[in-house]
Amino acid sequence: MPNIFADPATMVGFADQTVDTAAGSMQTMYRLNVGGSYIAAANDSGLSREWYADTPYVYGAAVGVTYQADDKVQVKYPSPEAEYAAPASLYLTSRTMGPNPKVNQNYNLTWVFEVDGNFTYVVRLHFCELLNTKVNQRAFDIYINNKTALADADVIGWTSEKDVPVYKDYATFMPDDTKILWIALHPSMSMKPEFYDAILNGLEVFKMSDSSGNLAGPNPDPSKMLLEAEILGVTQAFGIVAAICVVAYQSKKRRALGTSVSHSSGWLPVYGNSHTNTTSKSSGGKSSAAALLNPNITAMCRHFSFPEIKSATKNFDESLVIGVGGFGKVYRGVVDGDTKVAIKRSNPSSEQGVLEFQTEIEMLSKLRHKHLVSLIGCCEDDGEMILVYDYMAHGTLREHLYKSGKPPLSWRQRLEITIGAARGLHYLHTGAKYTIIHRDVKTTNILVDEKWVAKVSDFGLSKTGPTVKNQTHVSTMVKGSFGYLDPEYFRRQQLTEKSDVYSFGVVLFEVLCARPALNPGLPREQVSLADHALSCQRKGALQDIIDPLLKGKIAPDCLKKYSETAEKCLADHGADRPSMGDVLWNLEFALQMQDTFENGGKPEGADSASGSSTVSAADSMAASAAALELISEDMDEEDIANSVVFSQLVHPTGR
C-alpha cells in the first residue's frame, strides 16, 4: 500500500507541534465526498475505499452551495503518489458558501461528527480549486473544535493553478467529556480576498491509537458492570449462545437461497437504491403470509419471535394501544427487560401489506438520522408482519395540536418540531445516493421523543426518486393521505420530492391553526385546510384562523415568514415550490425572529462577551439571521427568498 501518511499532522492550537501519523494505528471514522455523491470502493484510486456524501453531517440549514465540474475537466495530480490520496471524482465536486459576501462573512460552513473522547484524531481536508486561478481570490480560515487550525488558507497559493488537488492534515485531542468534533470554514477577513468564500472537496477523520496501541472507546462504568454481572450473568450466557445460533441459522438460510446481504459499518448512514422485491401477491397485496417476504429484506434488522412480541405487549393488550394507522394498531411494549418500544402489527384487512412492510424495513435499515424514527427489528413468524421501533414518549405531533386532552405546545415548541421534521425530510431528499420521497407526510407521521425531538416515521409508502440522469419524476400510482396529497401528483401520477414539500405545507398550516387537514363538518369552502388557509393568507386574514392559544404570542415578522413559507409549499406546480432545504432555512430564520421577539428585541446571546473574531459553529445560524438584515437594504424580500445564497438546493449531480 502506498504511504499516504508520510508527513506529520499539525496539532491544532499548537502551531509548533506536530503528530507523527505513522507512529501507531489509525481507524477510519468518517470519509466524505464533500458536495458530491457516494463513491464506491471500485472507483477509488485502487485502494478500495468508500466515500459518502457529506450532507448528513453539515450543521444547521446554512449548508452553502454544491458544485460539480464538467466531465471534461482533468484533475492534475502533482505526483504519481498523490493519486492515492483520493479519487479524481472527489476533487470534481465541492461545497462552497455561496456568492453573497455579506452573508458569508456572518456564518461558518460547519460539519459535526460524533467521536469517542480521550483520543487524538487526525482530520484530513481535501481541496481542489475548480474555478479560481489567482492567489487571494478565495482565502479562508479553518477551525477545528473552535480553534484556528489554519488562518488565510488559499488553495491557489498552495498549488499555483486550478484543478490541482492538495490535502492538509490536522490533529486534535478530544477530552474524555467531549464527544462532538466540529470542523468549520470561514472567509478570511484579514486577507480581504476578491471573494469572501470558502471551499472544501473531501474530508476524512481518523482515530489514532493511544500509547498502549488501544483504539477502543471508553469502558462501561465498573460499578454498573458488576451490577449487571450479578443480575444477568446466567442470562447473558444463554443470550450469547442463542445469538450465535440465530446468526448461524440466518447465514445458512442466506447461503441456501444463494443470496447475501451487504451491511455497511455502523458509524455512517447506509446509502443505496431501493430494490424492494415482492415475489408474489395474495389477497390484493394485503397482509397474507411471511412466505411472500423477501428474505434479504427481513435479514436487514433484528428478528423477534412471535412469543417475544406477545410477551412485550402482554398478548396485545388493548390498554397498550397507542395508535391506529393504515397498516394496523401500534402498541407500547417492553423488550430486553427494560427497553421501551413501539410495536406496529399488521391488520389482515388493511390496504397496506407485504410491499409496505418490506419497504419500511428496507428504508429504515439503510437510513440513520437524528430526525428519522429508528427501526429496531421485525417479526414475520406465523404469517404475522410486525415492526418494532424506538418508543416516542410524546407520541404524534397531531396529539399535541387538538382534541387530545394533552397540554398545548408553545409556538416555539411547534417551530422546533417543524424544523426537526424538515431536517429529516431534507436528509431523505438529498442525503442518500438517490432521492427518497416519503409520500405520506402528515402530523400523525411526525413523532416526538421524550426530549421533544421530532422524528419522521412511517416509510411504508416511500419511493426512491429518479435514478436516471435528467429524469425529473417517477411515474407511479397515487398513494398518500387526502388533505395532504399533492394535487399535481394526483392529476398526473408523476411523483417528485416536491410532493413531500406540498404535504409539509399542509402540516405547517395545521401546526399554526390547530385543526385537521380535512374537516367535513365545516362549510364547504373551509373543509380543506390547505384551500382555506391559502385563501385567508391572500386576503390578509390569516390571523382569524390561527390557534386562539397562540394569539399575541407570535412575533409578527416570524408569522409573516412562516406563513409565506407554508404558502410557497402549496404552490399548484411543483416547480414553483421551494426545496425542503429552502423550507428548513426559512423556518430556522423564523425561529431566530421569534427568539429576538421573546428576548425583548435583542438577538439571543446579545449580552454575552465576545471579543473574538472567530465565528463559532454554535453561533452560525444566529449570524445567518443577522446577515439577512445586512443585505435587506440592497434586496427586496422576494429577491432574498429566491436568492441562491439562501437556497439549500442540492443538484442531483452532486448527491
Residue 39 is classified by DSSP as: B
CA dist 635 and 544 (Å) reads 31
For residue 512 the three cell numbers come to: 399554526
Q: Tell me the angle at which helices 411-430 and 580-598 cross, rounded to the nearest 10 degrees.
A: 160
Say if CB 309 and CB 382 are below 8 A apart. Answer: no
Among this protein's residues, is 557 annotated catalytic? no
Give the amino acid at 622: A
CA dist 205 and 214 (Å) reads 17
Q: Say what the alpha-carbon torsion angle 128, 131, 137, 138 is, to the nearest 10 degrees.
A: -50
Backbone angles phi, psi at 12, to 5 degrees: -65, 130
CA dist 28 and 156 (Å) reads 28
Instruction: Give the number of other CB atoms < 10 A from CB of residue 340.
Output: 14
CA dist 496 and 437 (Å) reads 7
Say if CB 118 and CB 176 are below 8 A apart. Answer: yes
Sheet with 199-200, edge to edge strand ranges: 65-68, 93-96, 199-200
CA dist 327 and 205 (Å) reads 42
CA dist 631 and 101 (Å) reads 10
Strand partners, 27: 207
- Nearest Cα to 512, choosing from 623, 580, 415, 383? 415
CA dist 118 and 89 (Å) reads 34
Is 344 assigned to a binding site?
Answer: yes
Cell 449462545, residue located: 241
Active site residue: 163, 440, 500, 595, which one? 440
- Residues belonging to the chain: 655
For residue 393 the three cell numbers come to: 414518549
Backbone angles phi, psi at 246, to 5 degrees: -65, -45
Which residue positions form the known binding site for ATP? Answer: 344
Q: So which residues are the catalytic ones?
A: 440
